Amino acid sequence: MKASVFALALLCASPVFAQSPPAEAAREAQHMDNLATLLDLNSAQKAQVQTILQAEHAKMKAAFEQAKASGTKPDWQQMKALHQQLQQETLQKLAPVLSATQLKKFQVLSQMHAHFHHGHGGPAPAATTPPAQS
């Protein structure tokens, strides 16, 4: 279990910068390999899960592009609602592909990733006060 959590932490902790397509493809392939290991996916499941996750990513990207093209910036609540809707669709698509145990693990990993990736999982930053001058 510790190895799984450590592997997930390493997976999530890697910085995500604008990357060239080959580097991005390699990063996505490594991410999928890590996910397959953590969920104990067979090759058929791995291919199906990859297709489902790529579709989710494409939908989210299209939503961002549509908002950008319209000149409006969706607020945080709108983006959160869209993200939750896409997550539910993804879980529904994954349900027939994964076992109940694998699906539960996927949900836990997704939650951990979201909290870690968006900075909700760490401690609050310490407040700093300037030193008193005498």
Per residue in 75-127, pLDDT tens?
788 888 888 899 999 999 999 999 999 999 999 988 887 766 555 444 443 43
According to DSSP, residue 14 is labeled: S
Domain presence at residue 44: yes
Domain presence at residue 14: no
Provide long-range contacts, Cβ within 8 A and 24+ apart, for 54-62.
Answer: 55/93, 56/86, 56/87, 56/89, 56/90, 59/86, 60/86
Q: Which of 19-23, 63-67, 112-116, 123-127 has the lowest mean pLDDT?
A: 123-127
Domain presence at residue 93: yes
Domain presence at residue 77: yes
Number of domains in the chain: 1
Domain presence at residue 90: yes
Q: Does position 65 have pLDDT exceeding 60, yes or no?
A: yes
Q: Whole-prediction pTM value?
A: 0.66
Which residue range is the domain that position 59 belongs to?
26-116
Average pLDDT over residues 10-29: 62
